Amino acid sequence: MKIYCILFAILFSYTVQAVQPYEYKIHAGDILNISVWNEENLQRELRVLPDGTISFPLSGVITVKGKSLKDIQTELSKKLTDFMPDAEVNVSVKSVEGNSVYVIGQVKKPGKIIMYQPMDVMQILSIAGGLTPFAKANDILILRRKNGVSDALEFRYSNVEEGDELDKNYLLKTGDVVVVP
């Protein structure tokens, strides 16, 4: 009986952490569908420009890069209130073309890969067809820019493949370049 009490105490002593839902943030190159309910002239399919903006009638230029769909809907609704007090705005993503990474070097299919979900280095290398026999698997680099500053993350394929250093199987970000020498 004492053992059961100890096991029970151990099992229920762990706190459950709330899992934050993944919320997609808009990138330059994404395609958005925007419509205002009951307003046929206010329906547009727009590609987010390289500077992260879109232009929508009666609202002007709006920065959408890095924002959620809900944030964009709210901003558009506010901008339209002068013309339509109760505008019902709907924003959806038609294509996540801006959410892409690049793989170059010794992989079977180098090029641009659109990430339709969060992906790590091993997943991207798999989509790129895997490494060629000539690849230097333990010298892979992930080139990443943040606020205009470039950084290089080292990735040792053999360690992750063996189940070691799984924290080094980096979650990739838009614009990352995976270099396989």
Domains present along the chain, CATH in parentheses: 31-95 (3.30.1950.10), 100-180 (3.10.560.10)
State CA 87 to chain mean position distance.
Answer: 29
Question: Is 50 exceeded by the pLDDT of residue 34?
Answer: yes
Report pLDDT for 13: 47
Question: Is 80 exceeded by the pLDDT of residue 5?
Answer: no
CB atoms near residue 31 (< 10 Å) = 15
User: Taking a C-beta distance cutoff of 8 angstroms, is the pair 32, 55 a contact?
Assistant: no
Task: Show Cβ contacts of residue 175 under 8 Å, excluding neighbours closer than 6 positions.
Answer: 100, 101, 144, 145
Question: Is 90 exceeded by the pLDDT of residue 63?
Answer: yes
Question: Is 80 exceeded by the pLDDT of residue 16?
Answer: no
Question: Is 90 exceeded by the pLDDT of residue 60?
Answer: yes
User: Taking a C-beta distance cutoff of 8 angstroms, is the pair 91, 32 a contact?
Assistant: yes
18 vs 93: which has the higher pLDDT? 93
